[in-house]
């Protein structure tokens, strides 16, 4: 096998090598059953055990309370932008949203098709370079929930403390789920596309409190109801079997590493090394404000777009791939999720110093 690159892509992103190795074996023959995991029936004892084990590991690692369901759905996190309000916001009801980036804006657009949405705070005027503190905004009376995106992949910002406004929280945690301890009981719904910190694209994990399952109006189609999937153990239709299996393998790997607390320690260390390198040099400029900086997606600029393009190209040639910033903001972005190795960050910091010497 050729030497693996350091994969800084924001998603689909790097997965643990032991997970990839096991998954590749399971594609050909899953646990000696004579069929690959891609072929076994979703109602077979083999796959039912996969789904149960994966859910149990998520519950254990995140300490999910018993009065929450863990669902494996399709349609990406983007489908949840609509499913959340359709299921828990009464027609014409109110909800508050925090606009801290592209994915929050998309969620607001979908929610406005369902109810009356208050954008309680927006950082768009400063190119989404920060998230708000709790005292930066007020919530209107009558709101059913407060919606936020916990980590913003494009702009490199993150909530390091979740707001306490006496209102149920709903969070898109697609890009930082399982990267740090979270008190699930503070949230009505948490959802995450798997392809950043949990596994491959194709499955979205939704954690929803039991009392919210029956809020949906009778007119909501069957497939869009959380209750439908909760009652059938995510097996109402054929689920994304392989993606769920790899999520399970990743959860076991994470547990073997020491769990979420150990991941948080490692993520802090990796991010600090990279932010220190950016702050130590006038050649590199971080996009996110201090206090809002993401531990998952580190965004930065060089003096000119031409130098940024050269940096990305030469870094790729050195085995440091996926460093180009999102097209909406440009610059550079290093995504350093749970599975991203510390030595990859060290290599990037060394490359940055060398590139500055040659081009500064």
147-183 pLDDT, tens digit per residue, is 999 999 999 999 999 999 999 999 999 999 999 999 9
Measured CA to CA, the distance from residue 166 to residue 143 in angstroms comes to 11
241-283 pLDDT, tens digit per residue, is 999 999 999 999 999 999 999 999 999 999 999 999 999 999 9
Q: Are residues 40 and 66 in the same domain?
A: yes
**End residue of a domain, out of 225, 256, 287:** 256
Number of domains observed in the structure of the chain? 2
pLDDT at 281: 95
What's the whole-number mean pLDDT along residues 336-359? Answer: 98
CA 122 to chain centroid: 20
When the pLDDT of each residue in the chain is averaged and rounded to a whole number, the result is 97
Q: Are residues 251 and 319 in the same domain?
A: no
* pLDDT top residue among 71 and 134: 71
What's the whole-number mean pLDDT along residues 337-356? Answer: 98
Q: For residues 212-249, b (16+ Cβ closer than 10 Å) or e, as one string?
A: bbebbeeebeeeebbbbbbeebbeeeebbbbbbbbbbb
Catalytic one of 103, 129, 176, 270: 103
Q: Are residues 21 and 62 in the same domain?
A: yes
pLDDT at 46: 94
Q: What percent of the chain has pLDDT over 70?
A: 99
- 51 in a structural domain: yes
Does residue 169 contact residue 162 with C-beta atoms inside 8 Å? yes
Nearest residue to 110 via CA among 138, 78, 139, 136: 78
pLDDT at 3: 85
pLDDT at 2: 63
pLDDT at 92: 83
CATH number at residue 71: 3.40.640.10
> For residue 305, what pLDDT band results from cuts at 50, 70 and 90?
very high
Catalytic one of 196, 253, 270, 324: 196
Identify whether 103 is a catalytic site residue.
yes
Measured CA to CA, the distance from residue 59 to residue 63 in angstroms comes to 5
CATH number at residue 299: 3.90.1150.10
Identify whether 29 is a catalytic site residue.
no
Measured CA to CA, the distance from residue 252 to residue 163 in angstroms comes to 31
Q: Are residues 170 and 150 in the same domain?
A: yes
Name the token pair of 185: 């009981």
**End residue of a domain, out of 256, 287, 306:** 256
Catalytic one of 69, 172, 176, 324: 172
pLDDT at 360: 85
The residue range of the domain holding 195 is 17-256
Q: Are residues 145 and 241 in the same domain?
A: yes
73-132 pLDDT, tens digit per residue, is 999 999 999 999 999 999 889 999 999 999 999 999 999 999 999 999 999 999 999 999
- 6 in a structural domain: no
Supply the DSSP string of 154-170, one letter for each residue. TTTEE-SS---SSS-EE
pLDDT at 91: 81
- 42 in a structural domain: yes
- 305 in a structural domain: yes
Identify whether 106 is a catalytic site residue.
no
- 76 in a structural domain: yes
Q: At what angle do helices 76-88 and 102-111 cross, to 10 degrees?
A: 40
Q: Are residues 127 and 203 in the same domain?
A: yes
Provide the whole-model pTM: 0.97
**End residue of a domain, out of 188, 223, 256:** 256
């Amino acid at each position: 096998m050729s030497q693996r690159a350091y994969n800084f892509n924001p998603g689909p992103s790097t997965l643990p090598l032991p997970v990839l190795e096991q998954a590749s074996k399971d594609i050909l023959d899953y646990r000696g059953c004579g069929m690959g995991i891609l072929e076994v029936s979703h109602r077979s004892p083999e796959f039912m055990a996969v789904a149960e084990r994966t859910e149990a590991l998520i519950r254990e690692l995140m300490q999910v309370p018993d009065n929450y369901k863990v669902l494996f759905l399709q349609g990406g996190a983007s489908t949840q932008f609509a499913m959340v309000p359709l299921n828990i916001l009464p027609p014409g009801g109110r909800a508050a949203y925090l606009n801290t980036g592209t994915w929050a804006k998309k969620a607001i657009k979908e929610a406005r098709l369902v109810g009356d949405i208050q954008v309680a705070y927006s950082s768009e005027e400063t190119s989404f370079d920060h998230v708000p503190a709790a005292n930066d905004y007020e919530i209107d009376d009558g709101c059913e929930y407060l919606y936020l995106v916990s980590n913003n992949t494009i702009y490199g910002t993150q909530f390091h403390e979740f707001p306490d406004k006496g209102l149920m929280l709903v969070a898109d945690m697609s890009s930082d789920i399982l990267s740090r301890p979270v008190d699930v009981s503070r949230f009505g719904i948490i959802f995450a596309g798997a392809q950043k910190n949990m596994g491959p694209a194709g499955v979205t994990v939704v954690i929803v409190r039991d009392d919210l399952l029956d809020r949906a109006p009778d007119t909501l189609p069957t497939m869009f109801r959380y209750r439908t999937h909760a009652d059938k153990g995510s097996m109402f239709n054929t689920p994304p079997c392989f993606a769920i299996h790899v999520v399970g393998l990743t959860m076991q790997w994470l547990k073997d590493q020491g769990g979420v607390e150990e991941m948080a320690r490692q993520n802090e260390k990796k991010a600090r090394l990279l932010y220190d390198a950016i702050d130590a040099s006038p050649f590199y400029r971080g996009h996110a404000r201090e206090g809002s900086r993401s531990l998952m997606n580190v965004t930065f600029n060089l003096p000119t777009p031409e130098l940024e393009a050269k940096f990305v190209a030469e870094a790729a040639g050195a085995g440091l791939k996926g460093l180009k910033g999102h097209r909406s903001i440009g610059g550079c972005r290093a995504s350093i999720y749970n599975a991203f190795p510390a030595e990859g960050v060290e290599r990037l910091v060394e490359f940055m110093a060398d590139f500055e010497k040659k081009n500064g």
